[in-house]
Amino acid sequence: MLIDDDRLFPADPSARAVARRLYDGVKGLPIVSPHGHTDPAWYAGDEPFPDPARLFVIPDHYIFRMLHSQGVRLEDLGIASRDGGAPAADPRAVWRLFARHYYLFRGTPTRMWLDHAFATLFGFEERLSAENADAYYDRIAECLAQPEFRPRALFERFNIEAIATTESPLDPLAHHDAIRRSGWKGRIVTAYRPDPVIDPEFEGFCANVERFGEITGCDTLSWAGYLEAHRRRRAYFRERGATSTDHGHPSAATANLSPREAEALFAKVLGGGANAAEAELFRAQMLTEMAAMSVEDGMVMQIHPGSFRNHNGGLFARFGRDMGADIPMRTDYVHALKPLLDRFGNDRGFTLILFTLDETSYSRELAPLAGHYPCLRLGPAWWFFDSPDGMRRFRELTTETAGFYNTVGFNDDTRAYLSIPARHDVARRVDCAFLADLVVARRLDEDEAHEVAGDLAYRLAKETYKL
């Protein structure tokens, strides 16, 4: 068997029995996926997925970053270069290459997600290897040609109640409009990710701001017009279901400049004369401006700082962004967030969800902050920490100070559609195991643990993200 019924449960028999009971109560709950990077075109067109390689390997940086670390060329995995050149790699050859290196994923969460999909969706009982690569490929390809494996059918099979994609303010959201026109009842919403028009160091920033003005009809070369463009675009996104914004800044720095100071900084940024410190100050000011707009329009705000993005300069030059080279950095939250929290920290109508790649900040900074400020909530998983051990550490380091109810349930930040059920299953198992240990240690009654398990698996994400 590829997957065991007791995976991730405690080794202690008494705690394992409790974990089983808790899990039985939550395993069938609907999936709420409030932030991710699945392609809205999948749901709009509802076309069959093309082949196993382009479904599992090519779009998933969890997979190709590991292969790249062992010397596999991205071109050989069928990944197109930045100039749009189409690689000549045959999908079956890509799959064989992946299968030959499947041993690299031993002990990783990626292996657990993949085995879950292989077993539950395609009925495999034997581990993927070079020897059975073609048999795997043929069975998966045969299934993908069937109507029940199209995106909308899988959405319903996965019991997804709502899923949020993530789009730039420059995106026309045409696929979201097509979904709405189709009459399909699946709930696919967008999320506002303004980094391309907020970060002066984002490639093409000045051109992006000009395009932003064309789209919104605002004078984005003026500070007032630029802010108005954000308000209009946020409203446009809300009309298409958006309930949240998302901000991937290098740090959590916020600022509270006077209007005159902000206007002068904006002019310098647009003029191309801003240095790195001034670019950081502008991003910091814009986080506070985005918070002010969230107070006005009710959109939930998410920050996930602390990533040195596109660390591999050669790979970035050839293939562009999101090639698995976003590396965690030390992150300060206590000082960085204070200007924003001084303005909005006690506003009960404002919700700011904090994510991190720096887990050393969980107990030292994030849990105490979320355990005090009414506006703050903690997102328990993003990137490296949507892993079993990472999720367990999150609970261990934050529950003592922030409790369960200053967190927002599980958030799967994925591009790999078929891994969504697996990721949520892992989160539910890890939380049930953690709660079972509390029950056995007499720190929590079992009836309370059942309630908390349901809240973590479903209710908190649904309510916090207003879904």
- Over residues 69-98, the mean pLDDT reads 86
What span, in angstroms and rounded, lies between the C-alpha atoms of 367 and 398?
5
Strand partners, 188: 163
pLDDT (tens digit per residue) in 402-419: 999 999 999 888 888 999
- The pLDDT confidence band at residue 383, using thresholds 50, 70 and 90, is low
pLDDT attached to residue 86: 59
- Considering only 25-29, 139-143, 312-316, 428-432, which range has the smallest mean pLDDT? 312-316
pLDDT attached to residue 302: 97
- Considering only 16-20, 250-254, 385-389, which range has the smallest mean pLDDT? 385-389
Secondary structure of 9-69 in HEC code, one letter for each residue:
CCCCHHHHHHHHHHHHHHCCCCEEECCCCCCHHHHHHCCCCCCHHHHHHCCCHHHHHHHHH
Whether 437 shows a pLDDT value over 80: the answer reads yes
Q: How far is C-alpha 35 from the chain's CA centre?
A: 5
Average pLDDT value for the chain? 94
- Over residues 67-79, the mean pLDDT reads 90
Domains with residue ranges and CATH for the chain:
13-48+150-464 (3.20.20.140), 49-149 (1.10.2020.10)
- Over residues 173-202, the mean pLDDT reads 97
Portion of the chain with pLDDT greater than 70, in percent:
98
- Whole-model pTM? 0.94
On the 0-12 / 13-18 / 19+ scale of CB atoms within 10 A, 142 is exposed
pLDDT attached to residue 413: 82
- Over residues 331-353, the mean pLDDT reads 97
Portion of the chain with pLDDT greater than 90, in percent:
84
Token pair for 290: 């985005």
What span, in angstroms and rounded, lies between the C-alpha atoms of 45 and 179?
8
Please check whether residue 71 is in contact with residue 109, taking contact to mean a CB–CB distance below 8 angstroms.
Answer: no
Token pair for 267: 């002019």
- Considering only 115-124, 263-272, 383-392, 416-425, which range has the smallest mean pLDDT? 383-392
